[in-house]
Chain A
Amino acid sequence: MFIGNIKLIAPALYLAFAAAVVLILGVIAGRKPDKGLDHWLPTQYLAPALTFPGVVYALWAVLKSLAEAGETVDALVGSELVRVPAVALFVTRGGHAQLTVDPFGAIFTLIAFAGTLIVMLLSLDYFEARQPHKAEYYSLLMFAAAAVSFAAVASDLIAIYLSIELLSLASYVLASFVKTDRRSGEAGLKYFLYGAACSAVGLYGMSVLFGVTGGSTALSAIARGLTPSAVAGGAAWVGVVFTLVGFGFKLALVPFQFWAPDVYQGAPTPVTAFLSVVSKAAGLVVLVRFLVTAVFPLPPEHLSWYWILVVLTAAAMFFGNLVAIPQKNIKRMLAYSSIAQVGYLMIGVLSALHAFTGEGRLLPGLWNVPNALVRSAAGVVHRASWETPWDMQGVIVYLAAYLFMNLGAFAVAAGLGRRIRSDAIDDYAGMIHRCPFLAASLTVFLISLAGVPPTAGFVGKLFIFGGAIQAGRSHPELVVLAVLGIINSVISAYYYLNVVRVMFFAPANSRPSFKVSFVLNLVVAVCLVGTLGLVFAAGPVVDFISLAVCSLLD
């Protein structure tokens, strides 16, 4: 086995190590609360302080991965010499990498770490300083973030399954963390039962895929095994669809969204924010890598699952937005809204996939590097034209926008919910007078979620829908999806702006105004800067990523 440049996954290793440190220190300090260790080194401050270097480290890994993405190294695997990309780690015989730290995965790591740090700061405000089991809480968050980071770079079924399960196990506990709250317990139970069942279905699909493609767990090897004749048998179809069930659950893609409303409403609000952004990013990155590397290299006429995904994308948008309209609880409304947001993200994924199908079967793209370059050593690589180079970047831009606007919305919901002791939208009446900064910020976040300029959500939607329409020249169903997406944005504006209406125009009945803590203001301000700043940053960032993509193609 060729190990490769292990430094590229160092951010994830660092965070897992830091999580263990937080856990052990917390257990020692917990034996004598109020004095000694916990007084000098409170876990709730130690954990974010240890996570912040992780974010910086992840940023370094992104730059490193961008610099190395186009390069190859000669690796000695067993007795054969194969040429593999410099970003491939743990390369087994045949040149299949188990981890691929390409820029796509590295950027997802950065998004996950940044999101986790924001969630930690939010937890500081949400839980009192005397929160029980705080060391366990923060270390679970850090373990979950490390798991997302591994999932983002995993290009092997075992690695994908393990990292997603590590994330799931941490999330189940986090969802039911408030042991005395019946809703939190119910959220944990439902999340656990549905999640474990869906991951078992996904595992069964993986086992079938493992068999019908010739006994390798690497995604690039599965791509070679998924020949049209293998797919004709039907077993491969079962394998792919069952595997997609497992990923679809994490993503809360319709029809696997049934857990989301109850879990989002019942879980502590910072955990809800984590589940809706970071955990969802893990599902998205794994789904994309599975589709791009393993499944989509097949010729399009065999892609019945492509049409299933197209239908599910449209269904997700309509279901999420229509059911969100009558909701009375802001967390539940945001749950349905995030189901719809997955639909928008999936449009971006589907339109980007076409760069990898058909002629592009062996395209040395950003994500299926190992397969393509090994074959180019044998001299059979075909390079397709890269018609829509900014599609997958659209997904990244939208996810970055979603990170800030959705975390921001949940941060305000958490802060207000703790102080007015209610999550009902009607109780937000007159909030613009009671707490002007939070109310104004929530307005910005909701406008951004609806996709109104000049916000990050608008830029993200511009990229997603623009990419779909551009790819739609040869694939008309994408144009239909883009049109449905625009219709859905209008629908969603109704219930988002309803909250704004309540906050601004409903009578407050002279309830007192209140101040919130510094850390909550900080979190909201960071999200606000992200939501508004991404509009200006999107251009340069995309140029930067395009440069990386183009350097791959030369």
Chain B
Amino acid sequence: MSHSAYGIPISWFLTVGALLFCIGLFGMMVRRSAIGMLLSIELMLNAANINLLAFGSYLRVPTIAGQVFAIFVITLAAAEAAIGLAIIINIYRLELHIEADKITSMKF
């Protein structure tokens, strides 16, 4: 599973995927705005998509399963963004900001 007809090793794709995932994870930790966190989550989902597509076409027996999985993930990411933005808009109406670390109405 090293080279395909394109001459690009799979490790390149996997590296891009891993970098994208790390950027997303880093963004999730340092971002304070809920929108920024949502974007970071999308990056992580797309990192998984790159992995799925690369593995699907580079394996010894190429399989369609990776692409099918990726299409489901894209669909779910869209649904997740819609619900996430709705929740964020609701928070904006209540709090007039979307800084996730400043929303602390509950303490024990």
User: Do chains A and B stick together as partners?
Assistant: yes
- Which residues on A are within 8 Å of B, measured CB to CB? 157-158, 161-162, 165, 169, 172-173, 176, 179-180, 182-183, 185-186, 188-190, 192-193, 196-197, 200-201, 203-204, 206-208, 210-211, 214-217, 261-262, 265-266, 326-329, 332
Cross-chain contact B100 with A161 (CB below 8 angstroms): no
Chain A residues within an 8 Å CB radius of B84: 172, 192-193, 196
Known contacts A182-B94, A197-B44, A200-B41; A265/B106 CB under 8 A: yes
Residues 70-108 (chain B) with a chain A CB within 8 angstroms: 72-73, 76, 79-80, 83-84, 86-88, 90-91, 93-95, 100, 103-106, 108
A200–B54 alpha-carbon span in the complex (Å) = 18
Known contacts A185-B90, A207-B52, A216-B63; A169/B103 CB under 8 A: no
Cross-chain contact A193 with B100 (CB below 8 angstroms): yes
Cross-chain contact A197 with B100 (CB below 8 angstroms): no
Cross-chain contact B56 with A215 (CB below 8 angstroms): yes
Cross-chain contact B80 with A188 (CB below 8 angstroms): no
Return A245 CB to nearest CB of chain B, in Å. 11
A193–B83 alpha-carbon span in the complex (Å) = 11
A-contact bits for B17-61, CB 8 A (1 contact / 0 none): 100010011001000001001101100110111011011100111
Cross-chain contact A189 with B34 (CB below 8 angstroms): yes
Cross-chain contact A200 with B44 (CB below 8 angstroms): yes
Return B36 CB to nearest CB of chain A, in Å. 10
The binding surface of chain B is classed by DSSP as: helix
Q: Is B65 on the interface with A (CB-CB < 8 A)?
A: yes
Of the residues B55, B66, B83, contact of A172 by C-beta under 8 Å = B83
Known contacts A158-B68, A193-B34, A196-B80; A186/B91 CB under 8 A: yes
Cross-chain contact B87 with A185 (CB below 8 angstroms): yes
The 28 listed contacts between A and B (C-beta, < 8 Å) are: A158-B68, A161-B72, A165-B76, A169-B83, A179-B93, A182-B95, A182-B105, A183-B106, A185-B87, A186-B103, A188-B90, A188-B91, A189-B88, A189-B100, A189-B103, A190-B103, A203-B44, A207-B17, A207-B69, A210-B51, A210-B65, A210-B69, A211-B54, A211-B59, A214-B60, A216-B63, A261-B106, A262-B106
Of the residues B21, B45, B47, B79, contact of A169 by C-beta under 8 Å = B79
Known contacts A197-B37, A201-B44; A211/B51 CB under 8 A: yes
The binding surface of chain A is classed by DSSP as: helix
Chain B residues within an 8 Å CB radius of A197: 28, 37, 40-41, 44
A332–B105 alpha-carbon span in the complex (Å) = 13
Known contacts A176-B90, A185-B90, A207-B55; A216/B34 CB under 8 A: no
A92–B43 alpha-carbon span in the complex (Å) = 31
The count of A-to-B residue pairs whose CB atoms sit within 8 angstroms is 135
Chain B residues within an 8 Å CB radius of A214: 59-61
**Which residue of B has the minimal Cβ distance to A172?**
B83
A266–B34 alpha-carbon span in the complex (Å) = 18
A268–B44 alpha-carbon span in the complex (Å) = 30
Chain A residues within an 8 Å CB radius of B65: 158, 210, 215-217
A327–B107 alpha-carbon span in the complex (Å) = 10
A332–B106 alpha-carbon span in the complex (Å) = 10
Return A479 CB to nearest CB of chain B, in Å. 34
Of the residues A169, A179, A215, contact of B90 by C-beta under 8 Å = A179
A216–B56 alpha-carbon span in the complex (Å) = 9
Chain B residues within an 8 Å CB radius of A173: 83, 86-87
**Which residue of B has the minimal Cβ distance to A196?**
B41
Cross-chain contact A210 with B55 (CB below 8 angstroms): yes
Cross-chain contact A326 with B108 (CB below 8 angstroms): yes
Chain A residues within an 8 Å CB radius of B108: 261, 326-329, 332
Cross-chain contact B61 with A215 (CB below 8 angstroms): yes
A11–B1 alpha-carbon span in the complex (Å) = 43
Known contacts A183-B106, A193-B34, A200-B41; A210/B66 CB under 8 A: yes
Residues 3-17 (chain B) with a chain A CB within 8 angstroms: 17
A447–B100 alpha-carbon span in the complex (Å) = 38
A185–B93 alpha-carbon span in the complex (Å) = 10
A158–B62 alpha-carbon span in the complex (Å) = 18
A188–B63 alpha-carbon span in the complex (Å) = 38
Cross-chain contact B87 with A162 (CB below 8 angstroms): no
Chain A residues within an 8 Å CB radius of B73: 161, 203
Chain B residues within an 8 Å CB radius of A204: 21, 44, 47-48, 51
Return B42 CB to nearest CB of chain A, in Å. 8
Return A495 CB to nearest CB of chain B, in Å. 13
Known contacts A173-B83, A207-B55, A211-B55; A200/B69 CB under 8 A: no
Cross-chain contact A185 with B94 (CB below 8 angstroms): yes
A176–B89 alpha-carbon span in the complex (Å) = 12
Chain B residues within an 8 Å CB radius of A266: 105-106
By CB atoms of chain A within 10 A, which of B59, B90, B108 has the most? B108
A332–B100 alpha-carbon span in the complex (Å) = 20
**Which residue of A has the minimal Cβ distance to B45?**
A200
Chain A residues within an 8 Å CB radius of B38: 193, 196
A43–B40 alpha-carbon span in the complex (Å) = 38
